[in-house]
Amino acid sequence: MSGPLAVVVASLASAWIAVVSDDGVVAEDYYKQGLLINQRLAAMAGERSPDPAATITFQADGEVRVHVEVDSAAAPRWLRLTLERPGGRDVRELALRRAEDGDWIASQFPETRGRWIVKIESDRWRLPVTTIAGQPSQIHLGAIGHPG
């Protein structure tokens, strides 16, 4: 009998708390505030710079070249290319250096046969990750429909 009695007492206590307390409306003009937020978001979308994109070219001599397509405001100070085997068994990271033509390069790039997860990140952004299989010659990461 004590179990059902405890449930009845707890439900009566919950009902009393619900009746006595007043949660109230968070804001009286919530609809108007929502419209203002939508206007601000629309204005911010117009100011937003295009998403970065990159084309990675693996050359036969072992050099890797990354051409970054990005707004000058989001131009990186450093760039890192990571190739990782699925499961994390083998991870190869390269800190790329800026070439005179504006591309990012690294030499003596290791053999890349097999399946790899490819990542490019900088001090300001990280591009979407992709997976490749086999020996790549060129990979494009970034915004869909971005020229490159």
CATH code of 53-142, in short, is 2.60.40
What is the per-residue pLDDT for 88? 74
User: Whole-prediction pTM value?
Assistant: 0.58
The dihedral of CA 72, 74, 78, 84: what is its sign?
Answer: negative
The string of pLDDT tens digits covering residues 84-138 is 888 877 888 888 889 888 888 987 666 667 788 888 888 888 888 888 887 778 8
Q: What is the reported pLDDT for 49?
A: 60
Helix/strand/coil for 145: coil
Mean pLDDT (the chain, rounded): 81
The 3-state DSSP class for residue 87 equals coil
pLDDT score at 145: 45
Mean pLDDT for 3-28 is 85
Q: What is the pLDDT of residue 8?
A: 94
Rounded CA-CA distance 15/4 in Å is: 17
Label residue 53 exposed, middle or buried (CB < 10 Å: 0-12, 13-18, 19+).
buried
